[in-house]
Amino acid sequence: MKKIFLILLLLLTGKNFGQDTIIQKSNPIVYGELLFGFGGSFNKYNGYIYGGSLGYQIKKNLFTIRYTVNPENKYKAATAGLVGVPVFYSRYKNKEIGLLYGRRFVKEGRSLSFAAGISTNELEYRYRHEGSEIQSTIKHYYGMAYELNIKWFKHRKERYRIYAMFHVGKPTAFGRTIGLRLTGNISKHSYLGFGITYGFGLHKHY
């Protein structure tokens, strides 16, 4: 009887242990980011760059969809009273939607990733002849988007902080990230940019 009881106890304990192992799943790795920096076309203009992206990681495989805008940065002097005020304007503006695949490596509270993929692009050129209204021409083309990222984020579960000071809720994997990105596109109108990224999400398995 004692042997039967011990066998049943082991079976029940083993079953419960197996269920706990299955239930305790790690969080997914998914995050969104904003980008702002400087960049420009190799053959047309220089300017600034901004946009957003969404990343999803499976093992070390990284899938990213991004939207990037790269306008020309030019200015001319305008007079306001006796003071000359610079007025910024753009003749060229390149918009890109890219779907990228790459690899991402995580170590404690930082990560390094690189990715490349296809993109669809729209280049707008604005111009005005003397005495006429502003006109524009738009060209659509495809390219190969690429990027290299380094990011820093919290390395363990913590309570979320409002304004980096006030703790709220329970310890969570959700948090902020800040990083640097080298980004570009190889196409008919290739460009290269460098900027700072800032985002929120789940950045590693906690």
Q: What is the pLDDT along the chain (206 residues), one digit of tens a residue?
A: 544 445 544 544 444 444 333 444 689 999 999 999 999 887 677 888 999 999 999 999 999 999 999 998 765 555 555 555 565 566 889 999 999 999 999 998 999 999 999 999 999 988 776 666 778 899 999 999 999 999 999 888 877 666 666 566 687 888 899 999 999 999 988 999 999 999 999 999 98
Answer whether 0.85 is exceeded by the pTM: no
List CB contacts of 51: < 8 A, sequence separation 6 or more: 34, 35, 66, 67, 68, 69, 96
Pairwise CA distance, residues 192 & 40, whole Å? 6
